[in-house]
Amino acid sequence: MSKKSSFQLVVNGFAILFLATAVASIASASTKVLYSFTAGSDGADPAGTLVFDSAGNAYGTGVVGGDFGYGVVFQLTPHANGKWTQSVLWSFSAGADGKNPYGGVILDAAGNLYGTTVAGGLGGECTGDGCGVVYRLSQSKGGWNLTTLYNFTGLNDGFGPGGAVIMDKDGNLYGTTPDGGKFGEGVIYELSPTNKGEWSLKVLHAFSGGKDGGVGSLGPLTFDSAGNIFGVTEVGGIHGAGTAFRLTSSAGKWRFSTIYAFKGMPSAAYPYGGLTPDKSGNLYGTTYYGGKNGVGSVFQLSQGASGRWNAKILRSFGSGKELNSTTTTLVFDGSGDLWGTTAAGGDPGCDCGGVFELTPGGNKWSETVVHRFKSVPDGAYSYYGLALDSAGNLYGTTVQGGIYNQGAIFRVKP
């Protein structure tokens, strides 16, 4: 199964539900929809985790809509009266600028935005739609200009980059493709600026479809404090249930290693979100399937004295009113609690997912259901991670719901 088909499986929300065995507490946090997309020039289907600048503005992407129907990059601006306004910084045309930006954007120190599109660009071997691009948006004279940094060809460089990029201290970008590459199963790439102002792509690893993790991921990569890169693959590995991997750099070369192969029920299986490190070097993530009830889990990966990585299930989701089926990348708040979202479960009349918080206590973590989405005019189906602002509030996106059922941006005040 290709990564694109597995991603569509998640987006369509198909899951095998099992009986729940745990009950979570209910939180009193305040959740509010800040913006509802219309699928017009403002875009729709907001994808990816939001990112904030120093002024408190949020940035993200909508997969479709805009002036040409192929997606947008947007800004959400707060005002003193508590209201937020949305403005479109760029509407994708399906030309050299790409189309359908699933991965959200990141900010550099100069305020430039970077992201990817799953299609569009100059074509390459991807007949019709194009193979996708990496782009940069820069502000100039009150407007925004898009520069295509790289056009994927569909050959050894891969195609269809649907995940976010990350940036190191030297300004190099790193990301993944779910398809293409030497073995046709996706790649991990590095994109570096050259002295001529151009950008050069280097493939750091080509997935083979076997024990190294199957196919390339749509989940974001992450750095640890030593500059190592970590990520997940949704399928593959020795148990076929996905892997966690690490890339380490030495003398300018990167070495790929699988640090853990997920085992499936009752353990974790099929991780779609990225990994989140803590200060001790442990990694945290979520799975769409697996866990005790087969409908997803939250896990911790810890490295032992021997160097071997072991997994611990912090939460096995259940069905019904419980939240389940999560693709989120987790985020820590200032108290050390983990926050995330799910794509299903929650309100019985909607099964639209919700927001949860995990609090450590001794050897156990307790779950608090912070919000259950109810669809229109509430949000529905939050596939991506939450973003934390300087005041401790959390922000996220839903691919449906909102007033017009075209997706929404919401805020949680703990």
Q: How far apart are CA 400 and CA 407, in angstroms?
A: 4
Confidence of residue 212 (pLDDT cuts 50, 70, 90): low
Q: How far apart are CA 116 and CA 163, in angstroms?
A: 7
Q: What whole-number percentage of the chain has pLDDT above 90? A: 79
Tokens linked to 236:
């593959």
> In 3D, which of 406, 316, 371, 412 has the Cα closest to residue 37?
406
Compute the residue count for the chain: 414
Confidence of residue 228 (pLDDT cuts 50, 70, 90): very high
Spell out the long-range contacts of 354-357 with Cβ–Cβ below 8 A and sequence spacing 24 or more. 354/323, 354/382, 355/31, 355/382, 355/386, 355/394, 355/396, 355/412, 356/24, 356/323, 357/27, 357/414
User: What are 387-411's pLDDT values in tens digits?
Assistant: 999 899 999 999 999 999 999 999 9
Provide the pLDDT for residue 29: 78
127/25: higher pLDDT = 127
Provide the pLDDT for residue 409: 98
pTM of the model: 0.91
User: Widest CA span of the chain, in angstroms?
Assistant: 60
**Per-residue three-class SS string for the chain:** CCHHHHHHHHHCCCCCCCCCCCCCEECCCEEEEEEECCCCCCCEEEEEEEEECCCCCEEEEEEEECCCCECEEEEEEECCCCCEEEEEEEECCCCCCCECCCCCEEECCCCCEEEEECECCCCCCCCCCCCCEEEEEEEECCEEEEEEEEECCCCCCCECCCCCCEECCCCCEEEEECEECCCCECEEEEEEECCCCCEEEEEEEECCCCCCCCCCCCCCCEECCCCCEEEEECCECCCCECEEEEEEEECCEEEEEEEEECCCCCCEECCCCCCEECCCCCEEEEECEECCCCECEEEEEEECCCCCEEEEEEEECCCCCCEECCCCCCEECCCCCEEEECCEECCCCCCCCEEEEEEEECCEEEEEEEEECCCCCCEECCCCCCEECCCCCEEEEECEECCCCCCEEEEEEC
Which residue is associated with the tokens 């889990």?
297
User: What are 344-380's pLDDT values in tens digits?
Assistant: 999 989 999 999 999 998 888 999 999 999 999 999 9
Pairing mode of beta strands 253-261, 268-269: unpaired
Provide the pLDDT for residue 98: 96
User: What are 9-40's pLDDT values in tens digits?
Assistant: 343 433 333 223 333 444 557 899 999 999 99
- The answer to whether residue 4 scores a pLDDT higher than 60 is no
CATH 2.30.30.100 fits 3-413, yes or no: no
Q: What whole-number percentage of the chain has pLDDT above 70? A: 92
Tokens linked to 217:
């991921």
Provide the pLDDT for residue 282: 96
130, 132, 136, 139 alpha-carbon torsion, rounded to 10°: 50
User: What are 238-260's pLDDT values in tens digits?
Assistant: 999 999 999 999 888 899 999 99
Cis status, amide bond into 377, omega within 30 of 0: yes
> In 3D, which of 198, 43, 174 has the Cα closest to residue 106?
174
- The answer to whether residue 178 scores a pLDDT higher than 50 is yes
Beta-carbon contacts of 319 under 8 Å, excluding residues fewer than 6 positions away, are 17, 18, 19, 20, 293, 295, 345
- The answer to whether residue 322 scores a pLDDT higher than 50 is yes
DSSP β-bridge partners for residue 39: none
Provide the pLDDT for residue 213: 63
- Residue pair 331/340 in contact (Cβ under 8 Å)? The answer is yes
Tokens linked to 347:
């309100």
User: What are 64-94's pLDDT values in tens digits?
Assistant: 999 999 999 999 999 999 899 999 999 999 9
> In 3D, which of 176, 130, 174 has the Cα closest to residue 154?
130
Tokens linked to 348:
């019985």
Q: What is the mean pLDDT of the chain?
A: 90
Confidence of residue 117 (pLDDT cuts 50, 70, 90): very high
Q: How far apart are CA 275 and CA 300, in angstroms?
A: 9
Provide the pLDDT for residue 325: 95
Mean pLDDT of 201-216: 82
Provide the pLDDT for residue 28: 55
User: What are 143-159's pLDDT values in tens digits?
Assistant: 999 999 999 999 999 99
Pairing mode of beta strands 199-206, 72-78: unpaired
Provide the pLDDT for residue 217: 76
Provide the pLDDT for residue 263: 94
Confidence of residue 216 (pLDDT cuts 50, 70, 90): confident
Provide the pLDDT for residue 12: 41
Confidence of residue 298 (pLDDT cuts 50, 70, 90): very high
